[in-house]
């Protein structure tokens, strides 16, 4: 069974693209995280490269290409993410396995390996996720590749904040919107995968229409409590006054001294919070610019922390930059534009 829950229309669109004589050189998958975006791209890669001759039978899940892609080992499916994948190092270049952005050295490394090695499948798929973590230099390097795309290659950018990519990059991509998935579809999907009905319902509700979270919650129900509590806290702080925010920033800075991973995880929760806000308020320009400002503040705090700026300053600045907002309650958001699958 595929790992994807929901996204019927989008999967059909990807199937159509895979069947094209000349597929687009670049795709932009725009939509909130934890919805199965990466799985969708991998499915596209199997549709391109599966050895079954009839498109209707792809993916067959049995041939070499299907198996290698499922294992993450196919030589023509290349993914860069924050860290140092594809970074060649050398020449005084410090390794950066824990970096939280996508750097120019990685984009260069990716392009180099594409030009150096012949490919074995029908179509190479290069994935950049999350594309909004590319700095300006990295983005400009990628832009040059998009202007002269390598043959039989599809570059896929994945992002929750397409607005933050360079317009020159966006305009070269076929944009595909990834929507949130209705809770009922998620609950059905979990039941089909053998989870008990009650757990499936609860995980589907707690996951706020994100199937990847729902799967994680169904497998590890404890996660629901922690995450729910943290998101609740974000929501309170986003609506609170400066004094409360500063005291929270102080706590975070204190924790940074003891456990950096914990703080970085909490920054990721903040990102999820602002992303939710972005997708709930997509029709209201003021609210989406608030959400983008929130996302940018998180990105910059992360960069400052990496650059060894005093943690307290970096975190206070982040909290000060967060706009004051109130999340629409779940009831009204259930009818937002992301509910178009059913």
Decide: is 47 part of the binding site for Zn ion (CB under 5 A). no
Decide: is 50 part of the binding site for Zn ion (CB under 5 A). yes
The residue (of 50 and 131) whose beta carbon lies closer to Zn ion is: 50
Distance CA 283, CA 289 (A): 11
Among positions 14, 28, 66, 237, the unique one binding Zn ion when judged by CB under 5 A: 66
Structure tokens that stand for 116 in this block = 């150096």
Region of 61-69, 180-188, 198-206, 281-289 interacting with Zn ion (CB under 5 A): 61-69
The residue (of 63 and 205) whose beta carbon lies closer to Zn ion is: 63
Decide: is 123 part of the binding site for Zn ion (CB under 5 A). no
Decide: is 70 part of the binding site for Zn ion (CB under 5 A). no
Decide: is 60 part of the binding site for Zn ion (CB under 5 A). yes
Q: Is the peptide bond before 59 cis (omega within 30 degrees of 0)?
A: yes
- Are 215 and 34 in contact by the 8 Å Cβ rule? The answer is no
Decide: is 105 part of the binding site for Zn ion (CB under 5 A). yes
- Binding residues for Zn ion, how many (CB under 5 A)? 6
The residue (of 46 and 185) whose beta carbon lies closer to Zn ion is: 46
Q: Nearest distance from residue 65's CB to Zn ion, in Å?
A: 5
Is 134 in a helix, a strand, or coil? strand
Dihedral, CA atoms, 266, 272, 277, 283, nearest 10 degrees? 160
Decide: is 41 part of the binding site for Zn ion (CB under 5 A). no
Decide: is 107 part of the binding site for Zn ion (CB under 5 A). no
Among positions 47, 69, 78, 87, the unique one binding Zn ion when judged by CB under 5 A: 87
Region of 7-15, 66-74, 261-269, 271-279 interacting with Zn ion (CB under 5 A): 66-74
Decide: is 111 part of the binding site for Zn ion (CB under 5 A). no
Distance CA 149, CA 131 (A): 17
| DSSP-derived secondary structure for 75-132 | TTEEEE-SSSTT---BTTBPP-TT-SSB-HHHHHHHHHHHHHS--SSS-EEEEETTGG
Distances (CA, A) of 266 to 234, 237, 256, 269: 10, 13, 11, 5
Distance CA 221, CA 206 (A): 10
Contacts of 254 (CB under 8 A, 6+ apart): none
Decide: is 110 part of the binding site for Zn ion (CB under 5 A). no
Q: Nearest distance from residue 63's CB to Zn ion, in Å?
A: 3
Nearest to 238, CA basis, from 189, 286, 291: 291
Region of 59-67, 134-142, 158-166, 238-246 interacting with Zn ion (CB under 5 A): 59-67
The contact set with Zn ion (CB under 5 A) reads 50, 60, 63, 66, 87, 105
């Amino acid at each position: 069974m595929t790992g994807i829950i929901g996204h019927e229309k989008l999967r059909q669109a990807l199937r159509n693209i895979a069947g094209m004589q000349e597929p687009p050189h670049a795709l932009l998958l725009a939509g909130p995280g934890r919805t199965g975006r990466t799985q969708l791209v991998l499915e596209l890669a199997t549709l391109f490269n599966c050895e079954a001759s009839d498109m209707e039978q792809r993916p067959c899940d049995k041939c070499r290409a299907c198996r290698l892609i499922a294992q993450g080992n196919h030589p023509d499916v290349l993914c860069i993410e924050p860290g140092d994948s594809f970074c060649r190092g050398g020449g005084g270049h410090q390794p950066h396995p824990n970096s939280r952005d996508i750097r120019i050295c990685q984009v260069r490394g990716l392009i180099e390996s594409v030009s150096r090695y012949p490919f074995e499948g029908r179509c190479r798929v290069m994935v950049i996720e999350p594309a909004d973590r590319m700095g300006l230099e990295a983005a400009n390097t990628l832009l040059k590749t998009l202007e002269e795309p390598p043959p039989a290659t599809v570059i896929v950018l994945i992002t929750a904040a397409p607005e933050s990519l360079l317009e020159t990059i966006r305009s070269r991509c076929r944009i595909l919107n990834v929507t949130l998935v209705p809770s009922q579809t998620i609950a059905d999907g979990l039941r089909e995968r053998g989870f008990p009905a009650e757990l499936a319902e609860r995980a589907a509700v707690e996951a706020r229409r994100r199937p990847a979270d729902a799967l994680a919650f169904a497998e590890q129900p404890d996660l629901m409590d922690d995450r729910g509590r943290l998101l609740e806290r974000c929501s309170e702080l986003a609506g609170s006054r400066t004094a409360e925010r500063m005291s929270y920033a102080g706590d975070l800075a204190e924790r940074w001294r003891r456990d950096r991973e914990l703080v970085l995880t909490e920054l990721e929760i903040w990102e999820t919070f602002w992303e939710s806000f972005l997708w709930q308020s997509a029709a209201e320009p003021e609210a989406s610019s608030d959400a983008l400002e929130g996302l940018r503040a998180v990105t910059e705090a992360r960069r400052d922390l990496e650059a060894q700026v005093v943690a307290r300053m970096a975190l206070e600045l982040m909290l000060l930059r967060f706009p004051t907002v109130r999340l629409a309650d779940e009831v009204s958001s259930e009818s937002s534009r992301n509910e178009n699958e059913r």
